Structure 1
Amino acid sequence: MAQDAPRRAPVTPKGSRIKDSTAYKVFTVVNTVALLLLCATMLYPFLMLLAQSFSSAAAINAGQVNLLPVDVNLDTYRAVANNGAFWRSYGNTVVYTVIGTAIAMTLTTTYAFVLSKKHLRGRGLLIGIAVFTMFFNGGIVPNYVLISSLGMKNTMWAVILPPALSVFNLLVMKAFFENLPTELEEAAHIDGLTWFGIFFRIVLPLSKAVIATMVLFYSVQYWNDWFGAFLYLTETDLFPVTLFLRNLIAGASTAASEGAAASGGSAADLNANIQSVTMILILIPILCVYPFVQRYFVSGIMLGSVKG
């Protein structure tokens, strides 16, 4: 007897799609609702802060401001725009962030590239030293004494150099470099490239995703840091904008009152939302930069965290 012909898979008409199962539909709905709630939770404080920055002091003190401004008030923005101390601190933060991120990326990439070479003598010791600093540090007083003895107090280097190397970022980048094909380096050696040539002409161009992610991490770290400046800086001309905001919140700065007087407004009317305006202006650069590196964020972390 002739063998039966093999069964063919059912052919779906052109343009039709397989129906989703009930369990998948339920999962999709629950997942969508959960993500929307999470997004709303994350956006609510920011939208409320934005509404307060455009509202009057009386409305804020009365608790009338929620997601929309009440009694729209632009006097606070005018006061901040006329406040020289705020913009000087803002410029300091930009300088600290740019220089600090450049130094941090130089240290992180070079150190991670060295640690990724398994034939390196003393590699385990170098990794151990780096990991040790994740769990133990000298403390505030020894760090303060060290910075003072090095002559870095009241200089920008006191803010830039201490946090210039993050061990977490170092280990993520090291894992990423270890995943790069070794055949590329071997071919480069045959072509006569030195280790510096391999690093700059092969490794870095192939590491755009993880580099963009680390740049974002370091930039946010330097932009938001105020504690180092609080410890090591006493000259107001060197203050970053986050320390300016901290002093504003703590009531240790009279810059808001001076700005209000310069704009012709009342300091009492501006004190209620001067903090909101300052926070919004501090957040703007990060919100502008993040969309350009967001597409690298997930891929950079995954590529640098998973080895295999």
Structure 2
Amino acid sequence: MKKQESLASKLFDVLNVLFMIVLIIVMAYPMVYVFSASISNNALVASGAVLLWPKKITLVAYEQLVYNPDLWVSYWNTIRYTFVQTVLTLIVTSAMAYPLAKRWLPGRRVILLLAAFTLLFSGGMIPTFLIVQKLGMLDTIWAIVLPSLISTWYLFIMRTFFEALPEELEDAAAIDGCGSLQILVRIVLPLSVPVMVTIGLFTAVNQWNSFFSALIYLNDRDMYPLQIMMRNILIAGTNVQGEGDLTHLETLKYAMIMIGTLPILCVYPFIQKYFVQGTMIGGIKG
């Protein structure tokens, strides 16, 4: 019986490893192909001759993008939009989630129901645009950041995380004379690094990839984020200068995808550990 269980266990391990290898190949192939196409000859890419490895390597697409000033303007816009959005989202979400995690908060149930209501219904695109317009936020960073500042889903995740923290830590801090804000900043947030980093990453990725808000609220080209520039190349079929030269259009598309996704790919491995890290390791000592 033990021998059969051992064989079954080994068979499961082998099949699991094979499945993971196939999954890795399926997930890695698109990125390898995009990189290969971005440094290959444009005619070969357009004809479908490039399937995995690059052919007739050339960096002309990257040269056109790197030496174009619009790229760096849009890159800077995307960086500052993402940074401001992420920081403000974490501050505002944690400030709202912490009191909602306390059962003694007056009107807590009503506030939670109102927040949950926004998961099912929203004000709509046109009313939101009119509000942004009336507030004078068109063609400003706040038109990109403020309408999507708080995600109800992230609010509930953070509230649930705060509820799981032991109250003894907060009681001890309160006895030492700490107020609610000091407890949040000095006790709760340092213990909430995993959830803060996770929500921060999701917020940053969503903002980095967002283009629809900029398409609606921004008319000034100097305010365009990187994704608008990428959209113009991928969908509109225009090059970075907005001219009619389509000589390297195919390789430009793939080079733009690589430039747009590289920062997120570089950041993710450094914070992946927080997704599975224990939330209360070292939090309480007996």
Q: Does the alignment reach a TM-score above 0.5? A: yes
Cα gap change, 1:272 to 1:254, in 2 (>3 Å): closer
Deviation at 1:47, TM superposition (A): 0.8
* Matching residue of 1:279: 257
Deviation of the 1:283 alpha carbon: 0.8
Kindly state the Cα deviation for residue 284 of structure 1 after the two structures are TM-superposed: 1.0
Tell me which amino acid in the other structure corresponds to 1:248.
Answer: I
CA distance in 2, matches of 1:152, 1:140: 15
Pair 1:137 & 2:115 matched = no
- Distance apart, 1:299 and its partner CA: 3.7
Q: Secondary structure at the match of 1:98?
A: helix
Whether 2:185 is the aligned partner of 1:200: answer yes
Q: Of 42, 47, 50, which aligns to 1:62?
A: 47
Q: Aligned pair in 2 of structure 1 residues 210, 76: CA closer, same or farther (>3 Å)? A: same
Does the 8 A contact of 2:229 with 2:240 survive in 1?
Answer: no
CA RMSD of aligned residues (A): 2.1
Letter of the 2:262 counterpart: I
- How far did residue 31 of structure 1 move? 1.4
Residues 239 and 249 in structure 2, CA contact (< 8 A), matched pair in contact too: no
Matches within 5 A, 1:63-212: 63-212=48-197
Q: Which moved more, 1:32-41 or 1:88-97?
A: 32-41
Q: Note the residue ranges of structure 1 that are not aligned, 5 or more in a row.
A: 1-17, 259-265, 304-308
| Larger Rg, first or second structure (1 or 2) | 1
1 CA distance for matches of 2:5 and 2:268? 35
SS at match of 2:112: helix
- Whole-angstrom distance in 1 between the partners of 2:148 and 2:24: 31
Q: Give the partner amino acid of 1:276.
A: Y
- Are the counterparts in 2 of residues 56 and 269 from structure 1 also a CA contact under 8 Å? no
Task: Quote the Cα distance in structure 1 between the aligned partners of 2:60 and 2:79.
Answer: 25
2-structure distance, mates of 1:296, 1:216? 10
Gapped runs of 5+ residues in structure 2? Answer: 282-286
Aligned to 1:262: none
Contact 1:57 1:273 in 2 (8 A): yes
* Cα gap change, 1:208 to 1:271, in 2 (>3 Å): same
- The count of aligned residue pairs is 279
Q: Secondary structure at the match of 2:258?
A: helix
Deviation at 1:19, TM superposition (A): 10
SS of 1:204 mapped into structure 2:
helix
Report Cα offsets for 1:217-240 as digits up to 9, x if no partner: 111011111010011111110000
Partner of 2:233: 248
CA distance in 2 between counterparts of 1:162 and 1:71 reads 46
Does residue 216 (structure 1) correspond to residue 193 (structure 2)? The answer is no
Kept in 2, the 8 Å contact 1:210–1:300? The answer is no
Letter in 2 for 1:148: Q
AA paired with 1:287? L
Q: Distance in 2 between matches of 1:254 and 1:80?
A: 9
Q: Deviations over 1:49-95 (max 9, x none)?
A: 11100011111122111111111111111100111111100110000
Q: Tell me if structure 1 keeps the 8 A contact 2:239–2:245.
A: no
Give the secondary-structure state (helix, strand or coil) at the position aligned to 2:53.
coil
Residue 298 of structure 1: CA displacement?
Answer: 3.0
Cα distance in 2 between the residues matched to 1:298 and 1:25: 26
> What are the superposed Cα offsets for residues 156-182 of structure 1, whole Å, 9 maximum, x if unpaired?
111111111111111111111001111
Letter in 2 for 1:204: L
Provide the C-alpha distance between the structure 1 equivalents of 2:141 and 2:119, rounded to a whole number of angstroms: 24
1:281 Cα deviation after fit: 0.5
Matched with 1:289 is 267
Q: Is the 8 A contact 2:232 2:239 kept in 1?
A: no
Give me the TM-score of the superposition, normalised by structure 1.
0.86
Task: Answer yes or no: is the 8 Å Cα contact 2:139–2:217 preserved in 1.
Answer: yes
Q: Is the 1:86–1:244 contact (alpha carbons within 8 Å) kept by the matching residues of 2? A: yes
